[in-house]
Amino acid sequence: MAKFRKKPVIIEAIQLTETNISEVLNFMGQTIRLTSFQEQMRFEQYEDSVIENGMDIYTLEDGNDGRAKHVASIGDWIIKGVQGEFYPCKPDIFEKTYESVG
């Protein structure tokens, strides 16, 4: 069996918290513009749902349409991959795999 080392790649990532859901959505290219009270109320309901149930993240792998759904929980890191895709990573795995570059 051959052995391989992961190539060093600098990634962009953001940790999902209870207070930065709109920032995470913006990071993933889902710009949020709330122009009415109703939109604000719907977004607050969405935030409550994410805090309780997690955020759906669709990756490039698997699935019938070439994408697979993963759920990011509060505390998980959302990583932007080398092809511009996004995927969640549990904090303990993130800590073992990545280090800050500045």
- pTM here? 0.84
pLDDT tens digits for range 52-90: 999 999 887 655 666 788 999 999 999 998 888 999 999
Q: Residue 49: which region, alpha, beta or left (left: phi > 0; alpha: psi -120 to 50)?
A: alpha
Rounded to an integer, what distance in angstroms lies between the CA atom of residue 19 and that of residue 13? 16
Rounded to an integer, what distance in angstroms lies between the CA atom of residue 50 and that of residue 48? 6
pLDDT tens digits for range 24-40: 999 999 888 888 999 99
pLDDT of residue 63: 52
Q: Where are the domains of the chain?
A: 14-97
pLDDT of residue 34: 83
